[in-house]
Amino acid sequence: MNPLLPRARVRRAAVAAATTVFALAWLAYGAALAGDFVFDDFHSVASNPALRDLGNLGAYWTDPTLFSAGTGAMYRPALLTSFALNMALDPGAWSLKAGNVLLHASVAVLWFLWAWRLSRRLVASAVVAGLFAVHPLASEAINLVSARSELLAMVGALVALHGHLAWSRGAPVVVGIATTCLGIVIACGAKETGVVVPALCVLQGALAGHGGWRRRLLPSLGRAVPMVLVVVGYLLVRRALLGEATAQLLERPGGDPLTGGGRTLLVQVATMGTLLPGCLLQSVWPWRLSFDPPVVYRTSLVEPAVLAGWATMAAVTLAAFWPGPTARLRRLGAAFAWAVALPWVLIPLNMPLAEHRLYGPLVGLGLVALAAVPRTLPAWSRRLPQPVGWSAVAVLVFAGIGRSTMRSLQYRDERLIWQQELAVRQDSFRAWWGFGTSSLRAGDAAGAVEALGKAHAIYPSYAPPLADFVDALLALPDGSAQPARAVAAAAALRAARPDDPWVRTQQAQALLQQGRVRGDAAAFAAAESAALACLAIAPPKAYVFRLAAAARRGLGDATGALAHLDRSVARGLAPVDLRIERAALLQHLGRGAEARQELLRAQQQAPGDLAVMQALQSLAAPPR
């Protein structure tokens, strides 16, 4: 008999299993391609101009301000690189979501190959990988384009673990160093939790292979040196670019627990103690999946619910680390889950719990599940499962595909997601807030006003929903406007954010709306004052002078309005929109030649601008 035949059969079986796992991921989440951008996708991806220029590929690694469209800096260069390459193919939501599904399918295949190499149980590894591929708990990480960081970080972590495992089993040193370091660069460049990968590689080296763990630990520590150097370099770059290498844990002021910065470490740890057992249960059976999981904030570690929660997590962890024939897999899987979860367990983020953060721990818990397979169904480790076993697997797989598909289809319209949340929890300010902002994006200003009004009423001290509430009120046409409500909301927002110039412009818009709808001269005067007040706290913007000019026009003072626009031009702030407005005022004042010259300047700035062309045609038309 040819001695190579069994090995060839195993290789073909592994390829077939990997292909099946890859296909299952697409079957479960192919419906994601029908979805649209939702929630953070807009400012992080869809509205981020830096992602539409491949010339920024190098800048992603040196400029953290390119991360998002005007919402702060974050250093995730590998993530931005993947977005830019994806958008170069097609910037549509379907394309970016296809990229997410592809990454998830890759994670599932990498996990299968990793688990098989660790356990030498091909069938069991394929079964668990298939269940991971269709698991509904992964739906948020896949359907939220902005959550790609979770998927890409797991790709990097698994690449590094594969490289380390091959290195420890005799692969060339250069190949081992290159693969592990590449994986760590991808993981850290996708998400900050990538810094834990070297520790996981050391643990894998201590647990995998033959002989006692002490004998394996020293070589594993030696192999970790280049990986640690990569992580140290990454942290130094973060410190240089962001001013901090890691997030601050201690000395956080106690305040509003719903905001990350206002939640102390004590409140964070106590609250997570009540949430983590539910997360663990969802990894086994994905029940009550939610875009806005209910959270009860805890202030003491000795509350019964907190003690019970942490005792449950301690008992489960102890069981995973208990000695036994499958202890190595269980320990590595549990350590993986804890390592990637610990940052968001300890660091108070704005949302203490989000489904997409459970993706990484789910990867680690897969090893724990694999370790349990032989104990539950011993035949699986030696021969093909019995028909009953295969039937059970088929039921779970098809159930996962169905549930994951249904979840993905909800992302066709963000309002569907929030409507489902509101059907369960009418008191969720995040659900009302999300429904309101998504309604506003869809053009339903009236629906947005009512939803955002409820969000603000439920949580009046939180400024972001109030800011969106003001935006929705300002989006109402004058025929259905609610000026008194808009002015009151804008005043409350200015009281909450007194040093925010944008808030002052919103207040000016609200007063302009009141002046137009009610013919209120005092409101126009107040609008002018609110707009010009921005100049005292921020660099001048053309928009400020345009608002002030609109207030003057409302007062019937075209000359005063022109003076505001002239001040803007004198400061070098003359965008096309301002020039068009200035030309209209000049024409109104009987200075047609100057108006035409102004429009020609605008045309030089933007030769193909339709608004400029229409203004020129209007100027040339004979009076009626």
Query: How is residue 162 written in tokens?
Result: 């594969």
Please report which confidence band the pLDDT of residue 379 belongs to, taking 50, 70 and 90 as the band edges.
Answer: very low
Answer yes or no: is pLDDT of 623 > 60.
no
584-596 pLDDT tens trace? 999 999 998 999 9
283-340 pLDDT tens trace? 998 888 888 888 899 989 999 999 999 999 999 999 999 998 888 899 999 999 999 9
Answer yes or no: is pLDDT of 43 > 70.
yes
Q: What number is the average pLDDT over the span 206-217?
A: 69
* pLDDT of amino acid 214: 65
* Mean per-residue pLDDT of the chain: 89
196-205 pLDDT tens trace? 999 999 999 8
Answer yes or no: is pLDDT of 145 > 70.
yes
SS (H, E, C) 478-497: HHHCCHHHHHHHHHHHHHHC
Q: What number is the average pLDDT over the span 362-374?
A: 90
| DSSP notation for 327-363 | HHHHHHHHHHHHHHHHHHHHS--SSS--GGGGHHHHH
* pLDDT of amino acid 289: 86
Q: What is the pTM of this model?
A: 0.87
Please check whether residue 473 is in contact with residue 449, taking contact to mean a CB–CB distance below 8 angstroms: yes
167-193 pLDDT tens trace? 888 889 999 899 999 999 999 999 999
Q: 14: exposed, middle or buried (C-beta count within 10 Å: 0-12, 13-18, 19+)?
A: middle
Least confident among 133-137, 502-506, 616-620: 616-620
* pLDDT of amino acid 505: 95
437-483 pLDDT tens trace? 999 999 999 999 999 999 999 989 888 899 999 999 999 999 999 99
CA torsion sign, 395 to 400 to 403 to 408?
negative
Answer yes or no: is pLDDT of 1 > 50.
no
Angle at 259 between CA 255 and CA 264, to 5 degrees: 50
* pLDDT of amino acid 338: 96
